[in-house]
C-alpha cells in the first residue's frame, strides 16, 4: 500500500513531461496509477475483511517517533474503491474532455494524480500526523485545481476561498488530533478508537476535529466554498467536489465515530449541522439554473445526510451511511460527468437554454436517469437501498433519532425535487425553447458515464457483493449486530411507505408552481457567503491596523521602542539582583587612557556635528578607537575584524549619505522638544549599557567554563591553535552557518530593494561597456 501511494507521487512528477510529448494521453497514463491501485486493493480485499487488518509501517523520523502507518481495513477499502475507481474513470474522461493542445493538460493531469495519491494516503493513514499531512495535500491540490492558472478574478477568488476555509479547518483539526493523541498517549488512530480517552481535553479535541471535517465537507456555515469551486473544469469538480475530497470530511468523522459516538460533544454538532446542511442544501438547489451549481448544492445536501447518519451512531445507521457513501460517489460522479458532456457539446449548462437533449442522446439520458433516480432514492437502485437502511436505522433508535428522521425525510423530499429538476432541466423538451443543436455525445465519454451509473443499478440487485465490506465497518459500532441485510425488498413496512411518501411529496414540490418562486430563497443577511466575506474583510482590516501601528515608518520611534524596552524589561530585573563590584581598576595598561579619551571625545562630538559626513567620520573614529583598545587587551583577531568592519561600514555610510542633504537640519530643528526626549532616552540607554558592562565584568569570577573548554580543546579537537578561529569554524560552526545564511539573505534583500526601484536611464552610470549595445536594442 505504501508503494501504491508512492507510485502516485512519482507518476505525478513525470506527467508534465509525458503531457509535453503526447498531450492529452497523459491523462490515460495518469489513470494507470489509480487503476492499478484499485485492482491491487480488490485482490487483497480478503485482508481488509479479515479479523486482523494488514498494517505497514515506514518510520521516517524514528528519533522523534514519527512514522507513517497504513492500515487496510473495510472503511479504507471502501474509500479506495471510490478514490481510485472514480479517479481512474475521471482521468480517462478528462483525456476526451480536454481540448487537444490545451496548456492545462500537463498541470491538471499531474495535480489530479497527486490528488489521488494524497487521498489514498489519507484513507489509509493510521497515525494522526500522516493523516494531517495528506489532508492538507488534498487542500493544496484542490486550491491549485480550482484556481487553474488564475487568469480571472473569479477563479482566484473561488480558489482562495476554498483554500482559506478548508485550511482553517485543517489547522483546527491538527490541534485537535494532537490533543487527542496526547490524551491517548499514542498517535495510532486504531489504538485511539479502541481505547478512547476521556475528559475535558478530549471534548475540545473532538470539537476541533469536527471543525476540520465540517469545513472540508462543506457543512453549514462553511458550505459556500463548494458552489464557488464549480469554476474548476467539470472533471475536476466531478472528482474533487463530488466523489473524493469532500468525502474526506465524512471519512474523518466515520473513522473516529466508533470511538466517540456516545460523546454529546461529538454527535450533537454532527447531527444538528448535518440536518441543517441537508435541508438547506436541498432547498437552495431548487433555485439553481446552472446544472453544475445545482449538483453542487445537491452534494452539500447529501454530505449533510451522510453526516447525520454517522452522528446517529447505531449499527444500521452506520451501515446505511457507508452504503450511501458508495452510492453517492457513483451517482454524483456520473451526473457531473454528464454535465461535462452537455457543457462541452452544447456550450451551456443553463437549464433555461437546454431543450430536447433526451431525444438526441438516448444512451446518455438512460445513464443519467439511472444516476438521478439513485440520487432521489427510487427503486431499484443503490440510493434506494441506502435510504431504506437509513430510515430503518433511524426508526428503531432512541427518541432523538425520530427527530432526525423527520429532518431526513424533509431533506429527502427536497432531494427528490431537485433531482427531478436536474433531469427535466437537462434532458426534457421545453415547448418555449428551440431544441438545442448538439453533435453526438461521444461513445467513450458516454461509456465512462455509464460505468458508475450502471454499477449503482447492479449493486442494488446484488448487495451481497459489497455487504460484507459495509457491514464490516458497521460492526465497529456494536458487538452484536442486529439481523438486517441490505436489499431492495424488506416487506411492506414503514420504511417503504415513507420512501413512497417522500417520492410523491418531492414530485408534487417539483410540479407545483411554488417551486420556482419561493424555493431556495434565503434572506440576504443570512447568506453564509456574507459571513465569510465579513470575516475575511475583518481579518484584513485587523492586520492592516496592527501593521500600521507597529510599522510607523519612523526610525526614531523604532529605536525609541527598542531602547525603552531594553532599559525597562531586563534592566529592572538585572539591576535589582546585582552586587556592587569590589575591585574596580582605573586601567590595566596606560595606553588605554588616551584611547578611551579619544573614543569619548569622538562620541561627544558626533552629537554636536552639523554635517552628516562629519558625524559618520566621527563614528568611525569611535569604532577604530575601540579596535585599538582590543589590541591593547591582546585580542588581535577581534581587533582585525573590528578594523575591517569599521572601514567597510564607513564606505557604505558614505555611499548612502551622498544621496542625502549634507547637513542634518537646515536652519531650525523640526521638533525642538523631541530632540530633548531623544537625547534623554539615548543618555539613559547608553548609561544603562555602560553600567551593566562594568557590573557584569566585575562580578565575573575567573574564566567561564565554556571559555576554558574551548581553550583546552582547540588544539586537540580541531587542530587549530587560534582559539577564535576554532570556535568559529568548529565548536560553533552551526552558528557560523546560520550567520552567513542571514548575511546572504540580508544582502540579497537589500540588493533587491535597491534594484527594484531601478529605471533604465539612457546614459546609465553602471552600464558595462560591452552590454551597452544589447541595452539599446531592448529599448528600441
Partner 1 sequence: MSTEPDRELERVPWAEWDRPRDRWLMAEHNCNTWPRSLLLEVCARIVFPTVLMVSVYLLFAGHHDAGGGFSGGLVAGLAFVLRYVAGGSAELAATVRIRPPVVIGSGLSIAVLTALVPALVGQPVLSSAIWKLSLPVLGELKFTTNLFLDIGVYLLIVGVVIDLLRTVGAGTELGGPGLDDETLEREEVERT
Minimum Å gap between C-beta 727 and partner 1 is 10
Q: Which of 555, 754 has the CB closer to partner 1?
A: 754
- Distance from C-alpha of 181 to C-alpha of 447, rounded to nearest angstrom: 46
**Residue 645 in contact with partner 1, rule: CB under 8 A:** yes
x/- string (CB under 8 A) for partner 1, residues 709-728?
A: ---------xxxxx-xx--x
Among 771, 778, 779, 780, binds partner 1 (CB under 8 A): 771
Among 536, 574, 578, 641, binds partner 1 (CB under 8 A): 641
- Distance from C-alpha of 219 to C-alpha of 307, rounded to nearest angstrom: 9
User: Which residue in 353, 326, 324, 540 sits closest to 430, CA to CA?
Assistant: 353
**How far out from the chain centre does Cα 369 lie?**
36
Tell whether omega for the bond before 221 is within 30 degrees of 0, i.e. cis. yes
Q: Which of 575, 648 has the CB closer to partner 1?
A: 648
DSSP structural state of residue 702:
S
Site for partner 1 in 448-487 (CB under 8 A): none
Instruction: Pick the piece of the chain touching partner 1 (CB under 8 A) from 41-49, 419-427, 540-548, 755-763.
Output: 755-763
Minimum Å gap between C-beta 440 and partner 1 is 57
Minimum Å gap between C-beta 559 and partner 1 is 21
**Residue 652 in contact with partner 1, rule: CB under 8 A:** yes
Instruction: Pick the piece of the chain touching partner 1 (CB under 8 A) from 45-53, 131-139, 644-652, 663-671.
Output: 644-652
List, as one string, the DSSP characters of 365-401. Answer: HHHHHHHHHHHHT-TTSHHHHHHHHHHHHHHTS-HHH
Minimum Å gap between C-beta 632 and partner 1 is 15
**Residue 733 in contact with partner 1, rule: CB under 8 A:** yes
Minimum Å gap between C-beta 730 and partner 1 is 5
Task: Please report, to the nearest 10 degrees, the dihedral formed by the alpha carbons of residues 603, 608, 614, 620 taken in order.
Answer: 10
Q: How many residues bind partner 1 (CB under 8 A)?
A: 53
**Residue 204 in contact with partner 1, rule: CB under 8 A:** no
Instruction: Pick the piece of the chain touching partner 1 (CB under 8 A) from 46-54, 190-198, 609-617, 652-660.
Output: 652-660
- Distance from C-alpha of 394 to C-alpha of 264, rounded to nearest angstrom: 18
**Residue 748 in contact with partner 1, rule: CB under 8 A:** yes
Helices (H), 428-493: 443-461, 467-474
x/- string (CB under 8 A) for partner 1, residues 669-708?
A: ----------------------------------------
User: Which residue in 78, 114, 99, 105 sits closest to 329, CA to CA?
Assistant: 78
Using CA of residue 378, residue 380, residue 382, residue 387, what is the dihedral sign? positive
Helix (H, G, I), strand (E, B) or coil at 428: coil
Minimum Å gap between C-beta 547 and partner 1 is 24
Residue 290 backbone dihedrals phi, psi, to 5 degrees:
-80, 125
Task: Please report, to the nearest 10 degrees, the dihedral formed by the alpha carbons of residues 76, 79, 84, 90 taken in order.
Answer: -170
Q: Grid cell 537589500 — which residue? A: 750
Site for partner 1 in 619-638 (CB under 8 A): 636-637
Minimum Å gap between C-beta 616 and partner 1 is 14
**Residue 779 in contact with partner 1, rule: CB under 8 A:** no
Q: Would you put residue 78 in left (φ > 0), alpha (ψ -120 to 50) or beta?
A: alpha
Contact 165, 225 (CB under 8 A): yes
User: Which residue in 300, 285, 459, 246 sits closest to 370, CA to CA?
Assistant: 459
Contact 36, 1 (CB under 8 A): no
Minimum Å gap between C-beta 59 and partner 1 is 18
DSSP structural state of residue 221:
T
Minimum Å gap between C-beta 534 and partner 1 is 38
DSSP structural state of residue 290:
B
Q: Which of 530, 775 has the CB closer to partner 1?
A: 775
H or E element that contains 57: strand 55-61
Minimum Å gap between C-beta 762 and partner 1 is 9
Residue 58 backbone dihedrals phi, psi, to 5 degrees:
-130, 110
Helix (H, G, I), strand (E, B) or coil at 426: helix
**Residue 757 in contact with partner 1, rule: CB under 8 A:** yes
Give the chain's radius of gyration (CA, Å): 35
Residues 6 or more apart in contact with residue 532 via CB below 8 angstroms: 161, 165, 224, 225
Minimum Å gap between C-beta 717 and partner 1 is 8
Among 201, 359, 569, 740, binds partner 1 (CB under 8 A): 740
Instruction: Pick the piece of the chain touching partner 1 (CB under 8 A) from 5-13, 134-142, 604-612, 745-753.
Output: 745-753
Through-space distance between the first and last CA atoms of the chain, rounded to whole angstroms: 60
Q: Which of 568, 729 has the CB closer to partner 1?
A: 729
Cell of 649: 561600514
**Residue 63 in contact with partner 1, rule: CB under 8 A:** no
Instruction: Pick the piece of the chain touching partner 1 (CB under 8 A) from 401-409, 426-434, 524-532, 649-657.
Output: 649-657
Contact 346, 324 (CB under 8 A): no
Q: Which of 51, 770 has the CB closer to partner 1?
A: 770
- Distance from C-alpha of 397 to C-alpha of 141, rounded to nearest angstrom: 40
Among 586, 755, 779, 780, binds partner 1 (CB under 8 A): 755
- Distance from C-alpha of 24 to C-alpha of 93, rounded to nearest angstrom: 10
Q: Grid cell 506527467 — which residue? A: 15
Among 153, 659, 668, 779, binds partner 1 (CB under 8 A): 659
**Residue 668 in contact with partner 1, rule: CB under 8 A:** no
Residue 483 backbone dihedrals phi, psi, to 5 degrees:
-85, 85
- Distance from C-alpha of 298 to C-alpha of 313, rounded to nearest angstrom: 24
Minimum Å gap between C-beta 743 and partner 1 is 6
Q: Would you put residue 380 in left (φ > 0), alpha (ψ -120 to 50) or beta?
A: beta
DSSP-assigned beta bridge partners for residue 611? 663
Site for partner 1 in 177-196 (CB under 8 A): none
Among 483, 583, 666, 769, binds partner 1 (CB under 8 A): 769
Minimum Å gap between C-beta 648 and partner 1 is 6
Q: Which of 483, 777 has the CB closer to partner 1?
A: 777
Q: Grid cell 415513507 — which residue? A: 498
Minimum Å gap between C-beta 708 and partner 1 is 20
Q: Which of 607, 747 has the CB closer to partner 1?
A: 747
Among 43, 63, 480, 760, binds partner 1 (CB under 8 A): 760
Q: Could you give the angle at which helices 104-124 and 245-260 cross, rounded to 10 degrees?
A: 10
Minimum Å gap between C-beta 656 and partner 1 is 6
**Residue 768 in contact with partner 1, rule: CB under 8 A:** yes
Minimum Å gap between C-beta 469 and partner 1 is 46
Q: Which of 14, 653 has the CB closer to partner 1?
A: 653
**Residue 203 in contact with partner 1, rule: CB under 8 A:** no
Minimum Å gap between C-beta 558 and partner 1 is 21
Among 590, 754, 778, 780, binds partner 1 (CB under 8 A): 754
Among 200, 431, 672, 765, binds partner 1 (CB under 8 A): 765
Q: Which residues bind partner 1 (CB under 8 A)?
A: 636-637, 639-641, 644-645, 647-648, 651-652, 655-656, 658-659, 718-722, 724-725, 728-730, 733-734, 736-737, 740-741, 743-744, 747-748, 750-751, 754-755, 757-761, 763-766, 768-771, 774
Amino acid at each position: 500500500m505504501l508503494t501504491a501511494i508512492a507510485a502516485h507521487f512519482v507518476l505525478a512528477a513525470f506527467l508534465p513531461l509525458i503531457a509535453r510529448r503526447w498531450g492529452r494521453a497523459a491523462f490515460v497514463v495518469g489513470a494507470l496509477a489509480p487503476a492499478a491501485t484499485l485492482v491491487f486493493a480488490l485482490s487483497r480485499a480478503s485482508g481488509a475483511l479479515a479479523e486482523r487488518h494488514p498494517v505497514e509501517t515506514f518510520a521516517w523520523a524514528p528519533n522523534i517517533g514519527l512514522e507513517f502507518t497504513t492500515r487496510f481495513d473495510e472503511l479504507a477499502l471502501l474509500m479506495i474503491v471510490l478514490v481510485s475507481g472514480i479517479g481512474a474513470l475521471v482521468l480517462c474522461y478528462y483525456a476526451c474532455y480536454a481540448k487537444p493542445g490545451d496548456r492545462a493538460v500537463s498541470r491538471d493531469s499531474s495535480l489530479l494524480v497527486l490528488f489521488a495519491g494524497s487521498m489514498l494516503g489519507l484513507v489509509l493513514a493510521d497515525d494522526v500526523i500522516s493523516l494531517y499531512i495528506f489532508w492538507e495535500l488534498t487542500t493544496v491540490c484542490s486550491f491549485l485545481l480550482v484556481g487553474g492558472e488564475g487568469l480571472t478574478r473569479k477563479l482566484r477568488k473561488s480558489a482562495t476561498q476554498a483554500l482559506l476555509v478548508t485550511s482553517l479547518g485543517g489547522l483546527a483539526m491538527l490541534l485537535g488530533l494532537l490533543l487527542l493523541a496526547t490524551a491517548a498517549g499514542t498517535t495510532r488512530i486504531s489504538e485511539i478508537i479502541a481505547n478512547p480517552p476521556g475528559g475535558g481535553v478530549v471534548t475540545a479535541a473532538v470539537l476541533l476535529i469536527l471543525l476540520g471535517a465540517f469545513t472540508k465537507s462543506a457543512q453549514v456555515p462553511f458550505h459556500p466554498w463548494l458552489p464557488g469551486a464549480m469554476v474548476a473544469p467539470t472533471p475536476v469538480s466531478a472528482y474533487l467536489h463530488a466523489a473524493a475530497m469532500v468525502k474526506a470530511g465524512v471519512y474523518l468523522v466515520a473513522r473516529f465515530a466508533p470511538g466517540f459516538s456516545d460523546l454529546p460533544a461529538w454527535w450533537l454538532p454532527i447531527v444538528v449541522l448535518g440536518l441543517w446542511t441537508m435541508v438547506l442544501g436541498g432547498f437552495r438547489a431548487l433555485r439553481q439554473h446552472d446544472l453544475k451549481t445545482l449538483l453542487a448544492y445537491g452534494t452539500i445536501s447529501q454530505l449533510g445526510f451522510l453526516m447525520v447518519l454517522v452522528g446517529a451512531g447505531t449499527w444500521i445507521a452506520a451501515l446505511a451511511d457507508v452504503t450511501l457513501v458508495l452510492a453517492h460517489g457513483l451517482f454524483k460522479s456520473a451526473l457531473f460527468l454528464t454535465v461535462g458532456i452537455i457543457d462541452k457539446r452544447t456550450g451551456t449548462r443553463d437549464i433555461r437554454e437546454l431543450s430536447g437533449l433526451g431525444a438526441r442522446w438516448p444512451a446518455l439520458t438512460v445513464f443519467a436517469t439511472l444516476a438521478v433516480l439513485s440520487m432521489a432514492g427510487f427503486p431499484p437502485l443503490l440510493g434506494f437501498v441506502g435510504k431504506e437502511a437509513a430510515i430503518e436505522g433511524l426508526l428503531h433508535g432512541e427518541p432523538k433519532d425520530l427527530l432526525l428522521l423527520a429532518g431526513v425525510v424533509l431533506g429527502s423530499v427536497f432531494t427528490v425535487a431537485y433531482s427531478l429538476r436536474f433531469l427535466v432541466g437537462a434532458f426534457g423538451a421545453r415547448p418555449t425553447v428551440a431544441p438545442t443543436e448538439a453533435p453526438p455525445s461521444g461513445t467513450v465519454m458516454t461509456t465512462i458515464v455509464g460505468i458508475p451509473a450502471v454499477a449503482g443499478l447492479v449493486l442494488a440487485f446484488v448487495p451481497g457483493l459489497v455487504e460484507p465490506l459495509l457491514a464490516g465497518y458497521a460492526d465497529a459500532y456494536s458487538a452484536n449486530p442486529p439481523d438486517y441485510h441490505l436489499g431492495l425488498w424488506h416487506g411492506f413496512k414503514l420504511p417503504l411507505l415513507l420512501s413512497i411518501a417522500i417520492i410523491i411529496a418531492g414530485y408534487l414540490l417539483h410540479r407545483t408552481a411554488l417551486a420556482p418562486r419561493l424555493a431556495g430563497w434565503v434572506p440576504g443577511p443570512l447568506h453564509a457567503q456574507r459571513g465569510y466575506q465579513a470575516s475575511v474583510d475583518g481579518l484584513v482590516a485587523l492586520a492592516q491596523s496592527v501593521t500600521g501601528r507597529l510599522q510607523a515608518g519612523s526610525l526614531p520611534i523604532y529605536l525609541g521602542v527598542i531602547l525603552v524596552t531594553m532599559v525597562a524589561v531586563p534592566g529592572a530585573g538585572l539591576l535589582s539582583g546585582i552586587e556592587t563590584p569590589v575591585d574596580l581598576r582605573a586601567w590595566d595598561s596606560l595606553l588605554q587612557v588616551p584611547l578611551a579619551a579619544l573614543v569619548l571625545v569622538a562620541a561627544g562630538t558626533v552629537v554636536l556635528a552639523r554635517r552628516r559626513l562629519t558625524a559618520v567620520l566621527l563614528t568611525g573614529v569611535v569604532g577604530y578607537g575601540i579596535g585599538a583598545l582590543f589590541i591593547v587587551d591582546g585580542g588581535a583577531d577581534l581587533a582585525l575584524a573590528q578594523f575591517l568592519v569599521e572601514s567597510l561600514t564607513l564606505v557604505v555610510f558614505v555611499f548612502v549619505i551622498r544621496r542625502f542633504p549634507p547637513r542634518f537640519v537646515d536652519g531650525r530643528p523640526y521638533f525642538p522638544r523631541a530632540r530633548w526626549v531623544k537625547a534623554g532616552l539615548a543618555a539613559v540607554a547608553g548609561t544603562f549599557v555602560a553600567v551593566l558592562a562594568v557590573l557584569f565584568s566585575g562580578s565575573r569570577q575567573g574564566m567561564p567554563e565554556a571559555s576554558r573548554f574551548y581553550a583546552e580543546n582547540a588544539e586537540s579537537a580541531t587542530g587549530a591553535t587560534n582559539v577564535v578561529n576554532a570556535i568559529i569554524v568548529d565548536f560553533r560552526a552551526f552558528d557560523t552557518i546560520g550567520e552567513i545564511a542571514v548575511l546572504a539573505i540580508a544582502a540579497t534583500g537589500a540588493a533587491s530593494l535597491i534594484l527594484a526601484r531601478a529605471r533604465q536611464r539612457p546614459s546609465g552610470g553602471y552600464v558595462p561597456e560591452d552590454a551597452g549595445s544589447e541595452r539599446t536594442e531592448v529599448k528600441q
